[in-house]
Structure 1
Amino acid sequence: MAVPAHDPRDHEFALKYDISITKVVSPFEKSYVFEGPYTGDGFAINSSNQLSGLDINGLSCKEAASKVIIWLESSGHGKKKVNYKLRDWLFARQRYWGEPFPVVYLGDTDEIVPLPENELPVILPELDDFTPTGTGEPPLTKATSWVRTIDPISHKPARRETNTMPQWAGSCWYYLRFMDPNNSTALVDKSKERYWGPVDIYVGGAEHSVLHLLYARFWHKVLYDIDVVSTKEPFHCLINQGLILGEIEYTAYKDKDGRLISADCDCNPGDHMHEKISTEKVIKVGDYHLLKDNPNIRLTARAYKMSKSRGNVVNPDDVISEYGADSLRLYEMFMGPLRDLKTWSTSGIEGVHRFLARTWRLIVGAPLSTGLYKNGTVVTEDEPTVAQLQSLHRCIVKVSEEIQETRFNTGISAMMEFINAAFKWERLPKSVIEPFVLLLSPYAPHMAEELWSRLGHFDSLAYEQFPEPQSEYLRESKIVLPVQINGRTRATIMVDEECSEAEAFGLASANEKLSKHLFGKTIKKLIYVPRRILNVILETQKASS
């Protein structure tokens, strides 16, 4: 770097060989005193040249760089250039599938002529054999009658391009076509594009976003430049969902004599034989996984990316046939935040499956229940209690927030808490259960639709407004009240929000920590500030003569 004042390696080298060190960047605007080497941002110092007329002293590094570039250009010593990490995109593919290029070559020359719009789209020819040619030429060269054509403008013999566009050419703008799929005269109608675009949320894997969405932005910006779309960016928000790994695999190691060795031994288990251990033979103690028959043997536990070669792929059809589509859907959301890496566990589905079963039993009743109402549920027309409304609206708030933040797992936890509370109620008011079913519907749509129908509705719940919380049911009815004795806080007590002074003092008197300070004492005064504090003033004991 040749800047010993601002690079640790150069600084060490300069000190060893007694090379002078000139500081040219200071962390302080007006002070040059600092211990080197300084590698951070700052202000230019010792950076003035009278012969050139260039002086950048006192400027920030960014301002100084701009001034130097301007001077280099104006003096003819250099030229400004912006460097990009992006490289040219190879757009031609030597394969059959893909969009044909809408160009022809005149005669046997390399003169390229674009086809007029009335010749579009160019359709791939039918081929019985589209395997590689073995000569380096694309498979389309086999379609000789298609390759040899006539230029529609000059009417001269021509040949078609036999390379095809990459798959990105067809997949990078499909979201625009969704906005106007039946338009035969334009890619997308301008008014529809302005109404629907840009896409609010795009969900894709991390690998997907690096390639496909990068190219989608290229494509969109080109379309913006030619006035096909009205926005520079195609998507408001991008969410990358985390990869789902296969089930945890447990591995035991053996030495050269076939004896089991622990994974935490001083030797390197990776150099030894290993065998896969089934889950039922493993116990977990603290953070370690041990062999059940020999707890002295520690195992390695690791989850791998699902692949056919490892044999750890989970077939969704098998899961659905045993637990149902809603259980599979719910479990995938319950595994963790959408963006996180997660490990699959088939046994984990049983938990959410039980939750759905409990929800069904709560609303519909047990299979042999005789208390079903006319709509096939145990739900009543009773007016809900304040406690029931508070439970519902706390659930609405939590589920709504977590949907926005794509933390579906904690939203499901909130619904589980609601069901636990509802099982303790003597009555299930319809005005409380119906909003809960709407909360459940994005997570378990099939079951929610069935419950909605049984609650007496003929139309799909998809047309219903999503529940909104009401603030009056979100206030906590209990608060923590500090209690002071003669101005010194001795304890806190739980009281109702609208607790009176007498009620607060009664609870304080019954508190074990406070009662010992009050026993046998005379109360001089009570100072009570609702929801804030209770201060008990005691009579001062006079010393006896």
Structure 2
Amino acid sequence: MSEVYNHKVVEKKWQDIWDDEKAFAATNDYSKPKYYALVEFPYPSGQGLHVGHPRPYTALDIVARKRRMQGYNVLYPMGWDAFGLPTENYAIKNKIHPKIVTEQNIKHFKHQLHSLGYSFDWDREIDTTDPNYYKWTQWIFLKLFKEGLAYKKEMPINWCPSCKVGLANEEVVGGACERCGTPVVRKVKSEWMLKITEYADKLIQGLEDVDYIERVKTSQRNWIGRSKGAEVDFSIKGKEDKLRIYTTRCDTLFGATYMVVSPEHPYLDKYKADIKNWDEIEAYREQASKKSDFERAELAKDKTGVAVDGLVAVNPVSGKEIPIWVSDYVLMSYGTGAIMAVPAHDQRDWDFAKKFNLPIVQVVSKDGEAVDIEKEAFTDVATGVMINSDFLNGLSVKDAKEKMIEFLNEHKIGEAKVNYKLRDWVFSRQRYWGEPIPVVHCEKCGYVPLDEKDLPLLLPEVESYMPTDNGESPLAAMTDWVNTTCPCCGGPAKRETDTMPQWAGSSWYFLRYTDPHNTECLADPEALKYWLPVDWYNGGMEHTTLHLLYSRFWHKFLYDKNVVPTPEPYQKRTSHGMILGENGEKMSKSRGNVINPDDIVEEFGADTLRTYEMFIGAFDLAASWSDDGVKGCRRFLERVWKLQDIMTDEDVYSKDLEIKMHQTIKKVSSDFENLKFNTGIAALMTILNDFTKKKSITKAELSTFITLLNPVAPHITEEIWSKIGNGERLYQQPWPTFEEAKTVESVVEIAVQINGKTKGTISINKQDPKDEVLAKAKDEIKDKLTGNIIKEIYVPGKIVNIVMK
């Protein structure tokens, strides 16, 4: 009898062996077929891993281990996305330097990952806060700057007076700072921007050449938001300026009955003297400044606004005077900061018009007939016919658009335009814990990049990294560091004191893994040529717009500069579902339903946690945690351990299980490559039942079985492999193969019926001739054949039916 399975002893033993043998190090042998598997590297927070982390890590570890056994040179790396606000906030609160906090968090995370037995190549570990890494983040920024893709722009930001920091829209909840609850205000600051919009079309087109799950492609396309339309100029009565708007429905211009401008629109200030209700406008602007863009554009259900008393617009096609309103649902950061409103055919405009008693004019008919637009907007207008539209009347929507574009061009009041929802990337943070931006400002030369030989520009040591009252970075107070000389003219200059956002380092980290210790370039061109593109990249759906888009943008830029050899960074992208609490709710401290993976590893073992997280349900769907499910997976592994007790010495598959073995190899091999980890494990559980029921397993069967299970549960399977006398290491063995012919059942059980009612069953070979099958069937039910047989029916391999009278 085998001893009781002790996961603590076995798991530590094999983790030490793998470390000593550098078992999973990718080689520089570029003659071998390669496979690059990538998971999103974590932010090393003080809380450590939660049970959501192991799900994607285990999934790609399964693929990486399987591919190594199939002869591939596998790169499966791990690193740390370690700059950012959470660490700095923790450091400020606890008066510990962010660098020390980061080092502590990384050490804890790495210990946790190591305890789970992942086959990461730890020789290629990277850390975005390492100057040897962020030197190349800065280098990429300089390349972007020199190409005009990095620039400075005055723009409003969300400002928390308490935290003294600019906030992203996502960090503002209900008009208040997510972290401290203080109401935010709007501040205008000069921010570094990256011109990702320059690559909008390339980012859309590139999706045709990659193997991303469809919902990832859809989210990217929607975020970029490419649309065809027209820009149109609306005159302001008595003024030289015109309000330019963008619309995808220039065919509805005759239905534009009012205009709406953003509270921040510069024409409001320019014509302040003409606006009779300026105090009201100013009060409304103050109110709007306390909301994030997201709240204004996406969350606002109840429309608010103020009419501009003193300014009137002119509809450029009808010549009619129409009112101008101010409303916070129009953003200065999107489009032109002004819109035309066609309330008959837009629900938002209709709601606004009804609330403020503004005119509504239908210009697209339903099947040639007007509809009751007093009740609701008529928005199903793609196939309508134009009415109330002068020279467009009677035309289809498609033809009306074309004719209106001609009219706009002819009268020089507009033009065709392709527009994008995508906005340029705000690239400044007024914080300490980030990559310094390698630019100086010279009164004579303007913004000047550092010489590349002077990189990395190190983040200086500071006595205080507290945010400043005026919204500047803590670096701004370091005059010895700030005051420098201009690389261009040699005169006095000041360093940029904003730092880069957290996702700067994560936009190219996959490139550095290919050659992480290179001091001469971002990565050796031969290494990049060999490893790229990433074969399989998995990450959360929440990162499929921002991070995935940003990294594709940087990669495409580097491709255009001949730094990388492929136009796309990732060939395949998948996303995993969240692991929820047992109550089906998202895990959080406040709900008290967070599961610490360390506790599961301690009590049940890493292999149990790995098996459970893969067996919990479909990989791409959310799943609720179950303590009973964990215990069930532990029992499964204990049954696997006990197979040693019933092993025989035969080095072949037994005759009665040969087909089942080949079927299992085929299914597990396929399922592990197609996100069906749960059904692959289920197949292994099924054949385990067959072995247990038979009370026997050959050495060949056990060797194959534990090889198939090894990517999921590597520690227990390595130990069994060793204990049953197999040489070398299991991780060095070839992946099992199957013969297609042997995956087809030749012996089947079929029903034997009399007059369509089943009276028994027989086992037959699918190739048995009809006469033999009928004879066997009649023998099986001979005591029930009490009448005259008038017909004998045999459906090959399916059923026998004896018709009697």
| TM-score normalised by the chain length of structure 2 | 0.50
Amino acid at match of 1:306: M
Q: Distance in 2 between matches of 1:199 and 1:419?
A: 35
**Count of aligned residue pairs for this structure pair:** 451
Matches within 5 A, 1:164-175: 164-175=499-510
2:424 pairs with one of 88, 95, 100:
88
Change (3 A) 1:88 1:5: closer
Alignment equivalent of 1:344, drawn from 598, 617, 625: 625
**Alignment match, 1:240:** 575
Pick one of 641, 644, 648 that aligns with 1:360. Answer: 641
Deviation at 1:40, TM superposition (A): 5.9
**Structure 1 196/484 Cα, relative in aligned 2: closer, same or farther at 3 Å?**
same
Using a 3 Å threshold, how does the CA distance of structure 1 residues 169 and 504 change in structure 2: closer, same or farther? same
Equivalent position amino acid for 1:403 in 2: F
CA contact (8 A) 1:379 1:427 kept: yes
Q: Deviations over 1:442-501 (max 9, x none)?
A: 11011112122224344333333322332222212345768798xx86669654213343
Q: Who is 2:540 aligned against?
A: 205
Shift of 1:73: 3.9
Higher relative contact order (CA 8 A, sep 6+): 2
Q: Corresponding residue for 1:519?
A: 786
2:741 paired with 1:463: no
Look up the match of 2:528.
193
**More moved, 527-536 vs 462-471:** 527-536
1:450 paired with 2:731, answer: no
| Aligned mates of 1:330, 1:529 — CA distance in 2 | 42
Q: Max radius of gyration: which structure?
A: 1
Matching residue of 2:654: 385
1:230-309 equivalence runs, <5 A: 230-246=565-581, 248=582, 302-309=583-590
Gaps of 5+ in 2: 1-251, 256-341, 355-359
* Kept in 1: contact 2:559–2:565 (CA 8 A): yes
Distance 1:408 1:77, change over 3 A: same
In the alignment, structure 1 residue 219 sits paired with structure 2 residue 554? yes
Deviation at 1:421, TM superposition (A): 0.6
CA contact (8 A) 2:653 2:698 kept: yes
In the alignment, the residues of structure 1 paired with residue 657 and residue 603 of structure 2 have an alpha-carbon distance, to the nearest angstrom, of 34
| Distance in 1 between residues matched to 2:386 and 2:468, nearest whole Å | 66
- Tell me how far apart the structure 2 counterparts of residues 453 and 70 of structure 1 sit (CA, whole Å): 79
Matched with 1:333 is: 614
Partner of 2:744: 475
Does residue 119 (structure 1) correspond to residue 458 (structure 2)? The answer is no
What is the identity, as a one-letter code, of the residue corresponding to 1:175? F
Contact between 1:527 and 1:534, CA under 8 Å: does it hold in 2? yes
The gaps in structure 1 that reach 5 residues or longer are 14-18, 27-31, 249-301, 366-370, 372-377, 541-545
Say if 1:223 and 1:44 are closer, same or farther in 2 by CA, change over 3 A. same
1:178 is displaced (CA, Å) by: 0.7
Following the alignment from structure 1 to structure 2, what is the Cα–Cα distance between the partners of residues 351 and 477?
34
Q: Relative to structure 1, is the Cα distance of residues 167 and 21 closer, same or farther in structure 2, using a 3 angstrom cutoff?
A: closer
User: Separation in 2 of the partners of 1:157 and 1:208?
Assistant: 42
Identity %: 43
Return the match for 2:664 from 388, 395, 408.
Answer: 395
Residue number in structure 1 paired with 2:513: 178
Secondary structure of the residue aligned to 2:494 is: strand
Contact conserved, 2:385 with 2:394, CA < 8 A, in 1?
no
Is contact 2:540–2:576 with CA below 8 Å preserved after alignment?
yes
Amino acid at match of 2:652: E
Greater helix percent: which structure? 2
User: What SS is found at the alignment partner of 2:637?
Assistant: helix
Question: Deviation of residue 147 (structure 1)?
Answer: 0.9
* 1:414 counterpart = 2:695: no
Do the aligned partners of 1:44 and 1:64 also contact (CA within 8 Å) in 2? no
The one-letter code of the counterpart of 2:552 is: R
| Counterpart Cα distance in 2 of 1:489 and 1:4 | 67
Is the CA contact (8 Å cut-off) linking 2:529 and 2:565 kept in structure 1?
A: yes
Question: 154-163 vs 395-404, which deviates more?
Answer: 395-404
2:605 is equivalent to residue 324 of structure 1: yes
Task: Say if 1:75 and 1:436 are closer, same or farther in 2 by CA, change over 3 A.
Answer: farther
Q: Distance in 2 between matches of 1:66 and 1:178?
A: 51
1:353: how far off?
Answer: 0.6
CA–CA distance in structure 2, aligned partners of residues 537 and 242 of structure 1: 54
SS of 2:639's partner is helix
Describe the shift of the 1:464–1:161 C-alpha distance in structure 2 as closer, same or farther (beyond 3 A): same
- Give the 3-state SS of the residue equivalent to 1:82 in structure 2: strand
Say whether the 8 Å CA contact 2:364–2:381 is kept in structure 1: no
Retained in 1: the 8 A contact 2:710–2:718? yes
- Partners of 2:687 and 2:414 lie apart in 1 by 70
Asked if 1 retains the 8 angstrom alpha-carbon contact of 2:708 and 2:735, the reply is yes
Cross-structure match for 2:709: 440
Contact 1:72 1:79 in 2 (8 A): yes
Displacement of 1:55: 9.6
Superimposed CA distance per residue, residues 85-110 of structure 1 (whole angstroms, 9 cap, x where no aligned partner): 22232211011111111111115x78
Mapped partners of 1:402, 1:63: distance in 2: 51
Indicate the residue corresponding to 1:163 in structure 2: 498
Cα distance change on mapping 1:456 and 1:41 into 2, 3 Å: farther
Counterpart secondary structure, 1:424: helix
How far apart in 2 are the matches of 1:453 and 1:400?
23
- Once residues 134 and 77 of structure 1 are traced to their aligned partners in structure 2, the CA distance between those partners, rounded to angstroms, is 47
Deviation at 1:530, TM superposition (A): 4.2
Supply the distance in 1 between the matched residues of 2:346 and 2:487 (Cα, whole angstroms): 65
Give the CA deviation at 1:332. Answer: 1.3
Residues 345 and 381 of structure 2 are in contact (CA less than 8 Å); yes or no, is this contact kept in structure 1?
no
Q: 1: CA distance between counterparts of 2:451 and 2:346?
A: 59
CA-to-aligned-CA distance 1:481-527 (integer Å, 9 cap, x gap): 68798xx8666965421334344224543677x986x5231x57757
**Is the alpha carbon distance of 1:212 and 1:20 closer, same or farther for their aligned partners in structure 2, counting shifts above 3 Å?**
closer
Contact 2:442–2:491 (CA<8 Å) still a contact in 1? Answer: yes
CA contact 2:752–2:762 (8 Å) conserved in 1: no
- After the TM superposition, which of the residue ranges 438-447 and 426-435 deviates more from structure 2? 426-435
Q: Is 2:483 the partner of 1:148?
A: yes
Q: Deviations over 1:35-71 (max 9, x none)?
A: 9999768767679x9979x9966xxx66875675466
- Which residue pairs with 1:509 in the alignment? 778
Q: Does the Cα contact within 8 Å between 1:5 and 1:36 map onto a contact in 2?
A: no
Using the alignment, how far apart are the partners of 1:381 and 1:444 within structure 2? 25
